[in-house]
Amino acid sequence: MFFIFFVINPYVYVLVYNEGEDHCQMKAFSNGFLSASSSKEMRAVWLNDYAFNTEQKRLETIKKISDANLNAIFLIAPPINGNKGWSDVDDFEAMLSLANSKGLTIYAWVCNLHRIAGTLADFTNSSERQAQRDWALALLEEYELLDGIHFDYIRYNSSSIVNQTQINAIKETLILTQNALKTQYPNKKFSTASKPLSGEFREPEDYIPYWYSTWFNDSNNNDVNRWNRSGYMYDGIPTPFVFQQDPKLWVSINAIDFTVSMEYCYETSWWKGEVDVWNSWVENNISKVSMGLGYYSNVWDDLDITPQLVAQEIVQKIHYGRANNISGFSIFEFGEPGNDDYILIDALTKGPNAPFKDTLTELHLILYSCFESLNEAESFLFSPLFIGSTISISAIAIIAVGIFLRKNRRR
């Protein structure tokens, strides 16, 4: 009955086909199985050049992505129009084409602070802000298969002082870029990587955003306010501030489509705390926050931590994130020389607790993603039209089987 109800019923396929491009955003079926991109959840990975700088590596990386049931990549960009790049043009084009053919969502990943080799960007300069915008536009113009732009290192180097002029300059850079992209490429997405929500001691000279002071002083937030603790002398600030980043504000004013927190820590309890903070900060905008998952050699520098343990903790992080409104995850990274990525891939896809394993239940995700709410989806599933069509198909199938068996008995 499950097979008939969800697989044979053509009404489901008509719905999915008709809604696929505009609403469900279903991009691909692959090897007879439903691709992970059928759901609204972003499952991404950052890819440095060593993950795709030969044809063999490109094929290996794509296989890893497929085996892990991921649906998006942040692909390190090549040089363009005098702006620095971190991959070869031909390798980037080849990987972009291959990833697109597999139905993946692809973002060009750039490191804004290092736009010009040998110098650090100063975002307080209006010409620099314009150059950053033009960089993003140039990449989208040159590489039409891109689905968006991903700004990383959109910050200053760590400072002991939170500087209002610099923090506002980065915000203005994002707004300028977002406005240009929405005008010229309205279907492309604009995202950032942001520093994790660790903590720093507050200095008297620090500029503190008004929203943060209000939130910090609200006793209703004490349970999740990790900076109002003895370790920070009950007067701490989030680490992004000292890099002149205010990702909560970016999200709240729609300066970006989403941000990915670079919280790559091994300790799941700390990672969970960050999820709780983000929920408290942005509330109804939590869909614009994705969480990073660290799987690279620095995470297991401690001899007591192994890749296997890191993979197990990542599984727990994903389950907690899902249970607390996080709808996007990104792994850093695949392809680091000497790493065994399949330790993580197996943890993500094999076993009863594997968060990214794909089964026929993925069809539920396609179906639900065609609706604005779970209630709307359930109303459809129990509607007279859907139930009637399923019963009719079931009856026809039973009659057909009966006729076939009767004929065989006569022989």
Q: Please report, for the domain that includes residue 172, its CATH number.
A: 3.20.20.80
Is there a domain that residue 88 lies in?
yes
Residue 231 has pLDDT above 90, yes or no: yes
How much is the CA Rg of the chain, to the nearest whole Å?
A: 24
pLDDT of residue 377: 56
Are 300 and 403 found together in one domain?
Answer: no
The alpha carbon of residue 108 and the mean position of all alpha carbons in its chain are separated, in whole angstroms, by 13
pLDDT of residue 375: 54
Mean pLDDT value of segment 347-374: 69
Number of residues that make up the chain:
411
Are 17 and 124 found together in one domain?
Answer: no
User: Percent of the chain scored above 90 by pLDDT?
Assistant: 76
Are 17 and 127 found together in one domain?
Answer: no
Taking each helix axis from N to C end, the angle separating 307-323 and 268-282, rounded to the nearest 10 degrees, works out to: 30
Count of alpha carbons within 13 Å of 170, Cβ hemisphere only? 27
Report the C-alpha gap between 91 and 285 in whole angstroms: 36
Is there a domain that residue 379 lies in?
no
Are 87 and 8 found together in one domain?
Answer: no
Mean pLDDT value of segment 170-193: 98
Mean pLDDT value of segment 341-346: 98
Mean pLDDT value of segment 281-300: 97
Is there a domain that residue 375 lies in?
no
Is there a domain that residue 376 lies in?
no
Are 348 and 392 found together in one domain?
Answer: no
Weakest-pLDDT range from 67-76, 113-122, 186-195, 393-402:
393-402
Mean pLDDT value of segment 265-288: 98
pLDDT of residue 158: 86
Are 363 and 388 found together in one domain?
Answer: no
Contact in structure between 191 and 148 (CB atoms under 8 Å): yes
Residue bearing the bigger pLDDT, 89 or 364: 89
H or E segment to which residue 343 belongs: helix 341-349
Are 309 and 407 found together in one domain?
Answer: no
pLDDT in tens, 101-121: 999 999 999 999 999 999 999
Are 277 and 303 found together in one domain?
Answer: yes
Which structure tokens are listed for 381? 């599933």
pLDDT of residue 23: 39
Count of alpha carbons within 13 Å of 411, Cβ hemisphere only? 6
Q: What is the number of structural domains in the chain?
A: 2
CA distances from 301 to 305, 307, 335 (A): 7, 10, 18
Contact in structure between 105 and 48 (CB atoms under 8 Å): no
pLDDT in tens, 378-410: 566 667 776 777 787 877 878 876 676 666 665
Q: What is the mean pLDDT of the chain?
A: 88
H or E segment to which residue 289 belongs: strand 289-294
Is there a domain that residue 276 lies in?
yes
Report the C-alpha gap between 38 and 391 in whole angstroms: 27
User: Please, which residues bridge with residue 201 across strands?
Assistant: 236
Residue 20 has pLDDT above 90, yes or no: no
pLDDT of residue 378: 56
Are 209 and 350 found together in one domain?
Answer: yes
Is there a domain that residue 202 lies in?
yes
Which segments of 350-383 does DSSP mark as H helices, in order?
A: 362-369, 374-381
pLDDT of residue 370: 56
Is there a domain that residue 377 lies in?
no
Are 411 and 356 found together in one domain?
Answer: no
Could you list the residue range(s) of the whole structural domain that residue 174 is in? 37-370
Is there a domain that residue 378 lies in?
no
CA distances from 409 to 398, 399, 401, 402, 404 (A): 17, 15, 12, 11, 9
Are 9 and 137 found together in one domain?
Answer: no
pLDDT of residue 385: 73
Mean pLDDT value of segment 354-362: 72
Are 25 and 42 found together in one domain?
Answer: no
